[in-house]
A and B are shown apart, each in its own frame.
Chain A
């Protein structure tokens, strides 16, 4: 998204300049330190939120990255005499590297990713603490930074620390805003809602998570570097404290973790409320109190205060509310009409001996099947015959155990699902799996943007087109929970179409619809094919299969038992016996 000058950005710039001038006034150092702490927690909470809030991977390890930064800066400045300001980018890099390494291990997992991520990050905090206190990095006695030279701003080191804090807070909010508005932000929100679907729709989930985690931990590292000179004496006990883990979480969730500014707002409120209690005998009570607050917020206000603030804001300043107008439709240019091609062109998709096992169960036993460009291929078979598994193999969601899948000459087995999507293979889900916290328009735009590989403005206009096409234009700004089953099925269809696929795989798009709705859907599917998209559709409803298919492929027990025109296959004795029992087969 291009960055245009707006009144909001002007105001933000003005605020930063005004805050930067504060040390020039004769403000007592006490207030300067207080403001620094607010900046510090803004940077910590906002950076935590870039991965944990946007993508829903809760990190309990922010203290580890913060502490890595603290000790990187402290060690470089005291033991190696590196100028302090130069230590900060190094601190950021070391912390980001650590974050990426952890992400590399955990983000590859197929199951329990979120839970294991939380557990690994929480133990990492104590592992890093153990390493630092048992090696000469700290050695158990702490590190003094009193004599580390620091350039003076406005005539004092306090001024410099204040400005560094302000710089970090501004940089972090800016980064969070940029990610929020970027394609990556959209991808992270999709990961939050349903990671598997996001990957199949073309979101490079692994890369995005690593990138977000590196940003998040790197910023925490730099903030830690600044903090080391602020406290001027660092110890393992105070650096890797449980409050450093907890406060960013509390601030982000209280403020609102789905908004880029939520954590900063939470940081200001919580820091102000707690200032003055932080030390002394009540420290443990305050910590307990904040923990209690966290429980209350998670149970009663899971979205934080930001949504309410936005509502008031819109009531007070109605002119600034986003207008809910469908973007101008962008009509996609049709491909060469397919029906004619079907007989002559080489196969678009070739499955050769595709085998997939789950434990001891052989779900697909060597399927060999060609799909011709421009055809409508019906995929039928009893429940459990392997239809959905085949779809999941073709879209790259399941890795196959043996055999090969070739799409337009490119071998796609073993390819991550998001790359398969980018090649032009899209699917719909039998039970609709929309991204529940994106609008209907956002759902479709995401598919256009990631699967179709177009820019964001174009993606929204394409999405408007496909919503109009599927009759959902009126619901564009609703959320998927507000749709009925029929509309959710059509949302699935619109998401599939918006990716501009060359092959569209439809998994029981008609189930649960009434007769009128089925006729409407059949019309749409013919029209889609006539625009040049090849269709594979899984269906139990024989009326639709016969009416629509150019060819029908029949699966039974993971094996392909017949392929041919609907008439041929329906007369095939083996098919008849599968559907009606042996007695009718003769």
Chain B
């Protein structure tokens, strides 16, 4: 049995990693829940954002926050463009998966072609800074990612709940024809949301670059984890996405500490299968 402080440390690591999962799940949960589009390419563009952050930082010395600003704007435009294609061709929920899967493969291939399949690590001065609380380490960048995730999840939740635009979006997800009949401009709203989801992926990407080691094939290792988070947190629920992320993050960290790090990849899949088996009405 591992020592108590190791368990406590892995709990902290788990919660912080969970914040990152939540950040990744946020955009996905929104686009699936409110736009009825399942975006398998979400991870791919998050990783693209991470590579761009790393590349701008190491090759041109661009600070991560500046890189982040550029990425958020660029990805917002990408999200709008992607949605335009989906609207133009009346893409169904199922076809959206095929298309975004292909997009993920394209991004992976491009990353591999430009930067090879080697691991990349963005070395920053703050990368190794931690606060020390008792015998526990709280890495500052991970904590920041976690706080940003909380901020975005909470902000999105409030936006959906309290603003006209948010309520209109939820009405459209519930029953689009009726919402449109009541004068809601469904098209414009869905463009904004799609852009926003992509921008969230960009934010996640910046933090991935700062805290993780990059390789193109990571896209696929995230798919299972983050979709499990989205389903556990319930579609279209930003706070749920964050909570689900923390749950999975903690489960994974404990598995690493207690059993074996290599089995952590199975945790989210097992949780998801158990959920579907025993609580099929959850989804």
Where the two chains meet, the residues of A that have a C-beta atom closer than 8 Å to any C-beta of B are 56, 58, 60, 105-106, 108-112, 114-116, 118-120, 122-127, 130-131, 134, 242, 246, 249, 253, 284-285, 287-288, 290-292, 294-295, 298-299, 302
B108: chain A residues at CB < 8 Å are 242, 284, 287-288
B212 contacts partner chain A, Cβ-Cβ < 8 Å: no
B5 contacts partner chain A, Cβ-Cβ < 8 Å: no
Q: Are A295 and B283 in contact (CB under 8 A)?
A: no
Q: Among the listed B94, B223, B263, B280, which residue makes an inter-chain contact with A123, where contact means beta carbons less than 8 Å apart?
A: B223
A288: chain B residues at CB < 8 Å are 105-106, 108-110, 113
Q: Are A126 and B224 in contact (CB under 8 A)?
A: yes
Tell me how far the C-beta of A207 lies from the nearest C-beta in chain B, rounded to whole angstroms.
18
Q: Among the listed B40, B97, B113, B265, which residue makes an inter-chain contact with A126, where contact means beta carbons less than 8 Å apart?
A: B265
Q: Are B283 and A109 in contact (CB under 8 A)?
A: yes
**Are A127 and B269 also in contact (CB < 8 A) when A106-B276, A108-B280 are?**
yes
Given A115-B38, A116-B283, 18 more contacts at CB 8 Å? A105-B273, A109-B280, A115-B94, A118-B94, A120-B272, A126-B220, A127-B269, A130-B266, A131-B266, A134-B263, A284-B108, A284-B113, A288-B113, A290-B105, A295-B99, A295-B102, A298-B95, A302-B95
**Are A295 and B276 also in contact (CB < 8 A) when A116-B231, A127-B269, A288-B110 are?**
no
A60: chain B residues at CB < 8 Å are 97, 101
B99: chain A residues at CB < 8 Å are 294-295, 298-299
What are 13 sample pairs from A and B whose C-beta atoms fall under 8 A apart? A58-B98, A60-B97, A109-B283, A116-B283, A119-B38, A119-B223, A120-B276, A122-B220, A123-B272, A253-B98, A288-B109, A299-B85, A302-B95
Residues from 222 to 246 in B contacting A, C-beta threshold 8 Å: 223-224, 227-228, 231
B113: chain A residues at CB < 8 Å are 284-285, 288
Report the separation of the CA atoms of residues A58 and B224 in the bound assembly, to the nearest whole angstrom.
Answer: 16
B98: chain A residues at CB < 8 Å are 58, 249, 253, 294, 298
Q: Among the listed B97, B105, B260, B268, which residue makes an inter-chain contact with A58, where contact means beta carbons less than 8 Å apart?
A: B97
Report the separation of the CA atoms of residues A111 and B94 in the bound assembly, to the nearest whole angstrom.
Answer: 13
Report the separation of the CA atoms of residues A484 and B195 in the bound assembly, to the nearest whole angstrom.
Answer: 39
Tell me how far the C-beta of A124 lies from the nearest C-beta in chain B, rounded to whole angstroms.
7
B102: chain A residues at CB < 8 Å are 246, 291-292, 294-295, 298
B128 contacts partner chain A, Cβ-Cβ < 8 Å: no
Q: Are A299 and B283 in contact (CB under 8 A)?
A: no
Residue of A nearest to B264 (CB): A130
Q: Are B223 and A122 in contact (CB under 8 A)?
A: yes
Tell me how far the C-beta of B143 lies from the nearest C-beta in chain A, rounded to whole angstroms.
28
**Are A111 and B283 also in contact (CB < 8 A) when A123-B223, A246-B101 are?**
yes
B262 contacts partner chain A, Cβ-Cβ < 8 Å: yes
Q: Are A123 and B269 in contact (CB under 8 A)?
A: yes
Report the separation of the CA atoms of residues A531 and B138 in the bound assembly, to the nearest whole angstrom.
Answer: 79
Q: Among the listed B97, B220, B262, which residue makes an inter-chain contact with A134, where contact means beta carbons less than 8 Å apart?
A: B262
Report the separation of the CA atoms of residues A483 and B142 in the bound assembly, to the nearest whole angstrom.
Answer: 60
A116: chain B residues at CB < 8 Å are 231, 276, 283
A253: chain B residues at CB < 8 Å are 98
- Pairs A-B, 3 closest by C-beta atoms: A123-B224, A288-B109, A291-B105
B272: chain A residues at CB < 8 Å are 120, 123
B89 contacts partner chain A, Cβ-Cβ < 8 Å: yes
The listed residue with most B CB atoms (<10 A of its CB), out of A119, A287, A295, is: A119
B188: chain A residues at CB < 8 Å are none
Tell me how far the C-beta of B81 lies from the nearest C-beta in chain A, rounded to whole angstroms.
13
B112 contacts partner chain A, Cβ-Cβ < 8 Å: yes
Interface footprint category on B: 35 or more
Report the separation of the CA atoms of residues A114 and B101 in the bound assembly, to the nearest whole angstrom.
Answer: 15
Residues from 87 to 130 in B contacting A, C-beta threshold 8 Å: 89, 91, 93-95, 97-99, 101-103, 105-106, 108-110, 112-113
**Are A284 and B263 also in contact (CB < 8 A) when A123-B227, A123-B228 are?**
no
Report the separation of the CA atoms of residues A225 and B276 in the bound assembly, to the nearest whole angstrom.
Answer: 31
B221 contacts partner chain A, Cβ-Cβ < 8 Å: yes
A291: chain B residues at CB < 8 Å are 101-103, 105-106, 109
Q: Are B276 and A105 in contact (CB under 8 A)?
A: yes
Tell me how far the C-beta of B95 lies from the nearest C-beta in chain A, rounded to whole angstroms.
6
Q: Among the listed A105, A119, A249, A285, which residue makes an inter-chain contact with B109, where contact means beta carbons less than 8 Å apart?
A: A285
B94: chain A residues at CB < 8 Å are 56, 58, 114-115, 118
A295: chain B residues at CB < 8 Å are 99, 102-103
Tell me how far the C-beta of B74 lies from the nearest C-beta in chain A, rounded to whole angstroms.
20
A114: chain B residues at CB < 8 Å are 93-94
Report the separation of the CA atoms of residues A535 and B222 in the bound assembly, to the nearest whole angstrom.
Answer: 54
B59 contacts partner chain A, Cβ-Cβ < 8 Å: no
Residue of B nearest to A299 (CB): B89
A242: chain B residues at CB < 8 Å are 105, 108, 220
Tell me how far the C-beta of B211 lies from the nearest C-beta in chain A, rounded to whole angstroms.
21
Q: Are B266 and A127 in contact (CB under 8 A)?
A: yes
Residue of A nearest to B227 (CB): A119
The listed residue with most B CB atoms (<10 A of its CB), out of A123, A287, A288, is: A123
Tell me how far the C-beta of A113 lies from the nearest C-beta in chain B, rounded to whole angstroms.
9
B283: chain A residues at CB < 8 Å are 109, 111-112, 116
A130: chain B residues at CB < 8 Å are 262-263, 265-266
Residues from 21 to 58 in B contacting A, C-beta threshold 8 Å: 32, 38, 40
The listed residue with most B CB atoms (<10 A of its CB), out of A105, A112, A298, is: A298
Report the separation of the CA atoms of residues A179 and B38 in the bound assembly, to the nearest whole angstrom.
Answer: 30
Residue of A nearest to B97 (CB): A118
Residue of A nearest to B89 (CB): A299
Tell me how far the C-beta of B13 lies from the nearest C-beta in chain A, rounded to whole angstroms.
20
Q: Are A115 and B109 in contact (CB under 8 A)?
A: no
Report the separation of the CA atoms of residues A292 and B41 in the bound assembly, to the nearest whole angstrom.
Answer: 13
B277 contacts partner chain A, Cβ-Cβ < 8 Å: yes
Q: Among the listed A108, A109, A118, A298, which residue makes an inter-chain contact with B38, where contact means beta carbons less than 8 Å apart?
A: A118
Tell me how far the C-beta of A137 lies from the nearest C-beta in chain B, rounded to whole angstroms.
14
B268: chain A residues at CB < 8 Å are 123
Report the separation of the CA atoms of residues A131 and B260 in the bound assembly, to the nearest whole angstrom.
Answer: 12
Report the separation of the CA atoms of residues A246 and B97 in the bound assembly, to the nearest whole angstrom.
Answer: 12
Report the separation of the CA atoms of residues A134 and B268 in the bound assembly, to the nearest whole angstrom.
Answer: 17
B103: chain A residues at CB < 8 Å are 291, 295
Report the separation of the CA atoms of residues A246 and B109 in the bound assembly, to the nearest whole angstrom.
Answer: 13
Tell me how far the C-beta of A47 lies from the nearest C-beta in chain B, rounded to whole angstroms.
18
